[in-house]
Amino acid sequence: MNVLVIGSGGREHALTWKIKQSPRVQKVFVAPGNAGTASDAENIDIDPLNFAALASFARQHAVDLTVVGPEAPLCAGIVDHFQQERLKIFGPTRAAAQLEGSKVFCKQLLRSAGVPTADFWVFHKPAAAFEFVEERFGETPMDVPLVVKTDGLAAGKGALVCFTMEEVKKAIRRIAIDREFGDAGNRFLIEARLSGPEVSLMAITDGQTILMLPPAQDYKRAYDGDRGPNTGGMGAYCPAPVIDEETIAWAGENVFVPTIHAMKRARMPFQGILYAGLMLTPQGPKVLEYNVRFGDPECQPLLMRLQTDLVDILELVLAGRLAELQDVAWDPRPAICVVMAAEGYPNDYRKGDTIRGLETAAALPDTKVFHAGTKLVNGQAVTSGGRVLGVTALGSSVANAKLNAYTAVKEIRWQGAWCRKDISDGSLPIAVKS
Ligand code: AMP
Ligand code: GLY
């Protein structure tokens, strides 16, 4: 069979690499892809939001299955478009993708389904929001435990965590008056600020059966020790020992099951990857947000550990027969992914630098260098994005996986390349079952 992967980041390179391993797959196309997917598969130059062109490509090239990486095409309805054209595609419909595309939709669904999440209030106008915070916290302006969030997609930047009245008012102004996030801020939420460690818990579902995937943790801040600005994610590892088996099972029952049921009751059955960003608060796990796709970079260490044929799993989901899936096999070894970024990221960054040392890194055992912001120029990989590579490695322990990943990082260089040095730190030792 032939498969089409939509997207161009590290997550999509990992999906491509894994799908390519299936003995049933002949060709993998990636739209638009990067330098890494160009060598592992075949890139096609079509924009992920050009549904008509993608569908017509899929038809002309006998694509049997399309897999969507990023949220933008899902929220814009790529799955509905392909389904109307009777093309098989993995991911949620536009209606179901609102779980990520609209935080107001998500929070209202969580509330109605009784899923634990922070208290929240919805606003359309800044005046009502100012009035609300003054009324509630006017007497304690130095202690205002709130988060102000845009309703719509804002590339992970639309959540403004606040501690004082001044910060809350500034956040409301940025979203609703300066309109820094454009239409994403047409509606906005004020949420209670929670505290605790965060974990990325993903599940794959056909709308009926839910298969929980091993937990991962994402290092979102730019610099070591969790300092600096937020990024798309500077690294991740899996499994993350911050959450134990019992709590994962609890989240399955109390977070994923009621959410999937509520979506079904609302006639928006959810099929695809459901990713819960959980905060492990002293009162138990609470949902911070849902994403409707694999996390990036969480996908890279996760798929590095998956031993079962991913295409078999995706096809069972599409057939609504996930319940028939026998055991899923995971490499017992942990995996870590270190993101190598371009100089300047997450602000304006350098582009167009030639990347050296990729062959030496590729030859290291238990290591895979996934490309993100790269492109081929005259047969050479050059930087073209902020997050450039996701250097991913397995190891007998987290410490060993970390050593393997950073050994590969040392082989790779370009002008201004940098990465966090502490990915996976803070983790407890994981006992590797044989
Ligand atoms: P979100 O886009 O909703 O996932 O938020 C991005 C980040 O903001 C999360 O990963 C958290 O670190 C932080 N955050 C979001 N909501 C809350 C909350 N209610 N309390 C504390 N931190 C939050
Ligand atoms: N790594 C966080 C995300 O994919 O949204």
pLDDT, tens digit (0-9, with 9 covering 90-100), for 214-245: 999 999 999 999 899 889 899 999 999 999 99
CA end-to-end distance (rounded Å), the chain? 34
Which pLDDT does position 426 carry in this prediction? Answer: 81
Q: Using CB atoms within 10 Å of the CB of residue 5, give its burial: 0 to 12 exposed, 13 to 18 middle, 19+ buried.
A: buried
Which pLDDT does position 34 carry in this prediction? Answer: 98
For 73, phi and psi rounded to 5 degrees? -65, -30
Would 2-94 and 335-409 be classified into the same CATH topology? Answer: no
Task: Answer yes or no: is the C-beta of 233 below 6 A from any ligand 2 atom.
Answer: yes
Task: Answer yes or no: is the C-beta of 291 below 6 A from any ligand 2 atom.
Answer: yes
Which pLDDT does position 427 carry in this prediction? Answer: 64
Q: What is the torsional sign of CA 434, 296, 97, 63?
A: negative
Low-confidence ranges of the chain (pLDDT < 50): 430-434
Class of domain 198-324: alpha beta
**What single letter denotes the amino acid at residue 117?**
T
CA–CA gap between residue 194 and residue 432 (Å, rounded): 32
CA–CA gap between residue 252 and residue 291 (Å, rounded): 16
For 273, phi and psi rounded to 5 degrees? -100, 125
Nearest to 251 by CA among 209, 203, 289: 203
Q: Are 46 and 57 in contact (CB under 8 A)?
A: yes
Nearest to 181 by CA among 165, 164, 157: 157
CA–CA gap between residue 398 and residue 128 (Å, rounded): 49
Task: Answer yes or no: is the C-beta of 231 below 6 A from any ligand 2 atom.
Answer: no
Sequence-distant (6+) residues with CB within 8 A of 253 are none
CA of 128 to the centre of ligand 2 (A): 31
Ligand that lies nearest to the alpha carbon of residue 194, given by its number in the listed order = 1
Task: Answer yes or no: is the C-beta of 70 below 6 A from any ligand 2 atom.
Answer: no
pLDDT tens, 127-167? 999 999 999 998 898 999 999 999 999 887 889 999 999 99
CA–CA gap between residue 40 and residue 18 (Å, rounded): 10
Task: Answer yes or no: is the C-beta of 366 below 6 A from any ligand 2 atom.
Answer: no
Nearest to 191 by CA among 217, 172, 166, 219: 172
Task: Mark 128-142 as b/e (b = at least 16 C-beta within 10 Å).
Answer: ebbebbeeebeeeee
CA of 158 to the centre of ligand 1 (A): 9
Q: Whose CA is nearest to atom 6 of ligand 1?
A: 159
CA–CA gap between residue 382 and residue 352 (Å, rounded): 5
Q: How far is residue 413 from each of residues 108, 352, 361, measured CA to CA in Å? A: 47, 13, 11
Task: Answer yes or no: is the C-beta of 180 below 6 A from any ligand 1 atom.
Answer: no
- The number of CA neighbours under 13 Å toward the Cβ of 397 is 8
Architecture of domain 125-186: 2-Layer Sandwich (3.30)
Q: Are 97 and 74 in contact (CB under 8 A)?
A: yes
Class of domain 2-94: alpha beta
- Atom nearest to 193 CA in ligand 1: 20
The domain spans of the chain are: 2-94, 125-186, 198-324, 335-409
Q: How far is residue 260 from each of residues 32, 263, 411, measured CA to CA in Å? A: 31, 5, 44
Q: Whose CA is nearest to atom 5 of ligand 1?
A: 159
Which pLDDT does position 386 carry in this prediction? Answer: 96
Q: Which of 150, 199, 288 to mutate to test the pocket of ligand 1 (most atoms within 8 A of CB)?
A: 288
Task: Mark 293-331 as b/e (b = at least 16 C-beta within 10 Å).
Answer: bbbbbbbbbbbbbbeebbbebbbbbbeeebeebeebebe
Q: Whose CA is nearest to atom 3 of ligand 2?
A: 295
Q: Write down the CATH superfamily of domain 335-409.
A: Phosphoribosylglycinamide synthetase, C-terminal domain (3.90.600.10)
CA–CA gap between residue 108 and residue 101 (Å, rounded): 13
CA of 350 to the centre of ligand 1 (A): 29
